Structure 1
């Protein structure tokens, strides 16, 4: 299974709001970047991702799972834009801040560091393991 990172501004869509959706999950809509869209098109049911609070907090706070593969984004009539549905799996025992990620030499190639603006990013298995370790959970 592939690993990902989903960015959201917590004043727009927070971890708590994602958790409140339960097993049904929520459409990860509104993405208007081709690379992020293509990342979602590559996702499979069961793929997991980190839930990242951008702008406010700037920290990885939980793990989500893809529960519906790529489909048309319901927030637009433009056929170019797709999205996936995700559901919350579990919080990290402790959030991992962007500053911690940037300060860790093992994570310098992570998309979160190198492609800061990309809202849906791939995460390598090694990066996944390290972030889980920093967040106090088993990968």
Structure 2
């Protein structure tokens, strides 16, 4: 069964345009340091799951692209790099703590912002819209995926 995900990225780190410019329009989803988000990648994501590429911490946050999970999970190399802001001194190659998946952007979309998501009938319980939600990766129900696809045209 296909799952769907909303995956947040700060455009200053990896924008949808950066992903599209990468080889095969694919980027490694590095830097996740939340256990629940890590567990989504490690335990539930499968190749070809749908991805809503979402820009956060920017002037206009929102869905900016449609993609897919392009790899099985593997250790995030930034956890081992002392020069990385994502370095984790407790992680070792033998016992990695953090996983990632590769994400392939299939198409860039117009920005579907939070206000429009909040106003759309049927999206009232979309996880990203819940008060206090700060996860960088959230599951998207198939019915929400369909509504968002329709909004994007």
TM-score of the superposed pair, with normalisation by structure 1 = 0.91
Separation in structure 1 between the aligned mates of residue 112 and residue 25 of structure 2, nearest angstrom: 26
Shift of 1:105: 4.0
Contact 1:102/1:113 (8 A) holds in 2: yes
Aligned to 1:58: 61
Corresponding residue pairs, total: 135
Matched, 1:43 2:59: no
SS of corresponding position for 1:116? coil
Which position in structure 2 is the counterpart of 1:109? 125
Higher strand share: 1
For the 8 Å contact 2:9–2:55, the answer to whether it is kept is yes
Q: 5+ unaligned residues in a row in structure 1: which ranges?
A: none
CA contact (8 A) 1:22 1:87 kept: no
- 1:130 aligns to what? 147
Match of residue 18 from structure 2? 17
Q: Distance in 1 between matches of 2:23 and 2:139?
A: 24
1:26 is displaced (CA, Å) by 1.4
Structure possessing the higher radius of gyration over alpha carbons: 2
* Residue 91 (str. 1) matches residue 94 (str. 2): no
Q: How far has the Cα of 1:95 moved from its partner? A: 2.0
* 99 and 74 in structure 1: CA distance in 2 versus 1, 3 angstrom threshold: same
Tell me how far apart the structure 1 counterparts of residues 17 and 7 of structure 2 sit (CA, whole Å): 14
1:49 and 1:127 map into 2 onto residues whose CA distance is 12
The structure-2 alpha-carbon separation of the partners of 1:19 and 1:110, relative to structure 1 and needing over 3 Å to count, comes to same
| 2:72 maps to which of 69, 72, 77 | 69
- Structure 2 residue runs of 5 or longer lacking an equivalent are 81-90
Give the TM-score taking structure 2 as reference length.
0.83
**1:2 corresponds to:** 3
- Which portions of structure 1, spanning 4 or more consecutive aligned residues, are displaced by more than 2 angstroms? none
